[in-house]
Structure 1
Amino acid sequence: MSPILLQGGAGALFFLFGLLTLLVQLGIIVWIYSDAQQRSDQPAFLWAIVAFLAPLLGLVLYLIIGRNGY
């Protein structure tokens, strides 16, 4: 098999992985923003900014300290 074909396949795989990662990050941001509008006393856009800057850490912080008990 040609090395050029293998390189193209690896590039496509990395592109798909990056696209999937981007979609998951955007989903986290949108979910945190919409949930914070309903369940948080803090401004929802600030939680969205936290999730934008650090998606996984922002999600964990929001779940621990951002949501109210109702």
Structure 2
Amino acid sequence: MAMTLRLTDDEAEALKRRAELERRSMQDVARQAVREYVESHSRAELLDQVLDDELPRYAEALEKLGR
């Protein structure tokens, strides 16, 4: 799927510099950044969900361990 990404002049310049430093295209750098962002936030959401589901079950034991 194609999309248009609108960047500020500063963002575009920073992306261009990063791509040049890595000898990669701006598109490759941007796509990697999106992948990393989605992966990072997906893991955080999964961890939050597990904690929300499981912590209440162990709340009493955790409280005792904290004493």
TM-score (norm 1): 0.50
| CA drift at 1:12 | 0.3
* Residue-by-residue CA offset, 1:10-68 (whole Å, 9 max, x unaligned): 10000000000000000110011111121114xxxxxxxxxxxxxxxxxxxxxxxx836
**Unaligned stretches of 5+ residues in structure 2:** 1-19
For residue 40 of structure 1, what is the aligned residue in structure 2?
59
- State the structure with bigger RCO (CA 8 A, min sep 6), 1 or 2: 1
For residue 26 of structure 1, what is the aligned residue in structure 2?
45
For residue 9 of structure 2, what is the aligned residue in structure 1?
none
Bigger CA radius of gyration: 2
Aligned residues: 43
Identity %: 0
Runs of 4 or more above 2 Å deviation: 66-69
TM-score (norm 2): 0.52
Q: Could you say what secondary structure the match of 2:25 adopts? A: helix
Q: Distance in 1 between matches of 2:59 and 2:33?
A: 37
Q: AA paired with 2:47?
A: I
